[in-house]
Every structure is written in C-alpha cells, then in structure tokens.
C-alpha cells in the first residue's frame, strides 16, 4: 500500500475528515491515501467559472475509482468584485471564498477537520492562497509529512492512479494579467481554446490573454509540432482571438 508512515500517523489522528478536492495530482493522492487508511473522508469539489470542465470530470472519475461519494459545491464568482477585479492578491480572496464554502458545507455535514493538497514543494512564502487556507486553519498533510510533488507523483503511480502524471494546472483566471478585469466570457473563450490545443495533441500548455491576443505557451519539446500545425492552430483559435502568437521562451 503506497502510503508513507507520516501520512498514516496523520490519518490515525484524524479518522474523519473533509478534503478540498480539485482532481489534481496532490488532492487525488490524498483521497487515495485516506481511503487506504480507512479514514471517513468527504471530498468537496468547488464548481465555478474558474474551473474547466475536464477538472470536474477528472474529480468524478477518481472519486468513482476509489468508491467515494463526491460532493459538488457550486460557487458563482461573478458576485465577488474583489476576485473579478483581479488584484495582485486575487488568489487570496478566491481561496477564502472556496474554502469558506467547503468549511460551511463540511460543518453542516458534521466535519471538524479540513485538509488541502498543498505539498512540500509549494512555496508558502509567495502564495496568497496559502495565507488564506492557513487563516482558515486548513491542514496540509502532504506538506506536513514533507512529501514533495515528485514523491506524490511516484506514490500515485505506485497506487495506480491515472492522475500520477497529470500536468499541474492553475485556474483559468491565471491566464489574465494581474490588474485586468476578469470577464466571464473571456474565461469561456480560454477554456474552449485550450481544449482545441488538447485535441491537437498538445499538453502542459497555457494560453495567456493580452487584450484580444492569445499568447500560447508550450513546453520546448512541442515547439516543432506547433510550427508544423501552425495553420491548423490559427484556424482553430481564430474564432476566439484576433491575434495568435507563440511564446518562444517555452514553459
């Protein structure tokens, strides 16, 4: 069973727990580890305009694989100007809202301990979202156990989780420059355009929006593929953006 002793010790201390579940590598492994240790764990997925559909689908798939009921909480971020105005600490406000809703629902469901998927590779000094979860007293078992991202991926692979090699994913709002107002129709355009890139066979990419221009960021080893598919990419993305450029720095 691919669960380190440090995590086993944590779950022995907290046999009933609520998880902020994104369907990503870290929270998926946490869900697996908790169920493997016999913990009564309830995963909560926040469905908002900032999360693409594939994240929800992955969350449902993983929960089904582990035989755990997934609770989906809908959050309409259009009601929160402190988020849509996109200040430098937007992530702080967003995390407060997201985990505030999870805690609210979790308390109703009888939970007292709340956890997230932050790991030991995450920089706690330069992430406003980290400050928010710490203020809300959300625990981070992976970070507390000293498990890095690479270690979580390897443990996930050993456990047979399909998420083990899933690329890290930041919410759609990160595609828009800080200080630029976030418009919901722009988020929809980004999600649909990135889905086009996925269908063309690209991975671990981002589309950054600068006005009506899309800046495509790809791993360096996919640059040649982008040149080869240049015309197709232009045709696929022109319905969303006036100009399409490729960031030659790579991701």
Same domain, 17 and 111: yes
Q: Is residue 79 part of a domain?
A: yes
Q: What pLDDT is attached to residue 167?
A: 87
Q: What pLDDT is attached to residue 125?
A: 62
Same domain, 226 and 103: no
Q: What pLDDT is attached to residue 243?
A: 95
Whichever domain contains 214, its CATH number is 3.30.70
Counting as low any pLDDT under 50, the low residues of the chain are none
pTM as predicted: 0.92
Q: Is residue 215 part of a domain?
A: yes
Q: What pLDDT is attached to residue 128?
A: 78
Q: Is residue 121 part of a domain?
A: yes
Predicted confidence (pLDDT) per residue in 178-225, tens digit: 999 999 999 999 999 999 999 999 999 999 999 999 999 999 999 999
Choosing from 137, 165, 193, the residue where a domain stops is 165
Whichever domain contains 30, its CATH number is 3.40.50.620
Same domain, 49 and 138: yes
Same domain, 137 and 205: no
Q: Is residue 219 part of a domain?
A: yes
Choosing from 165, 196, 216, the residue where a domain stops is 165
Q: Is residue 124 part of a domain?
A: yes
Predicted confidence (pLDDT) per residue in 20-31, tens digit: 999 999 999 999
Task: DSSP for 144-186, please give it.
Answer: HTT--HHHHHHHHHHHT-GGGGPPP---GGGGS-TTSPP-HHH
Burial 195-232 (b: 16+ CB within 10 A, else e): ebbeeeebeebbbbbeeeebbbbbeeebeeebeebeee
- Count up the domains in the chain and report the number: 2
Q: What pLDDT is attached to residue 180?
A: 96
Q: What pLDDT is attached to residue 89?
A: 93
The range of the structural domain enclosing residue 238 comes to: 183-246
């Amino acid at each position: 069973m691919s669960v380190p002793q440090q995590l086993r010790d944590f779950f022995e201390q907290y046999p009933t727990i609520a998880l902020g579940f994104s369907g990503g590598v870290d929270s998926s492994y946490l869900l697996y580890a908790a169920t493997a240790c016999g913990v009564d764990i309830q995963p909560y997925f926040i469905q908002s305009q900032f999360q693409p559909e594939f994240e929800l689908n992955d969350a449902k798939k993983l929960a089904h694989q582990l035989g755990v009921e997934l609770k989906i909480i809908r959050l309409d971020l259009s009601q929160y100007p402190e988020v849509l105005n996109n200040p430098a600490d937007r992530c702080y406000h967003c995390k407060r809202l997201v985990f505030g809703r999870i805690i609210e629902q979790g308390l109703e469901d009888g939970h007292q301990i709340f956890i997230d998927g932050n790991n030991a590779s995450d920089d706690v000094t330069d992430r406003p979202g980290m400050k928010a979860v710490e203020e809300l007293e959300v625990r981070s078992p992976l970070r507390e156990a000293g498990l890095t991202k690479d270690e979580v991926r390897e443990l996930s692979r050993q456990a047979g989780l399909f998420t083990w090699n899933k690329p890290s994913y930041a919410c759609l709002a990160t595609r828009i420059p800080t200080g630029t107002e976030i418009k919901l129709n722009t988020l929809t355009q980004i999600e649909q355009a990135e889905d086009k890139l996925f269908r063309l066979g690209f991975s671990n990419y981002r589309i950054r929006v600068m006005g009506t221009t899309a800046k495509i960021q790809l791993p360096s080893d996919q640059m040649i593929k982008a040149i080869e598919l240049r015309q197709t990419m232009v045709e696929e993305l022109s319905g969303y953006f006036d100009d399409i450029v490729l960031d030659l720095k790579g991701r």
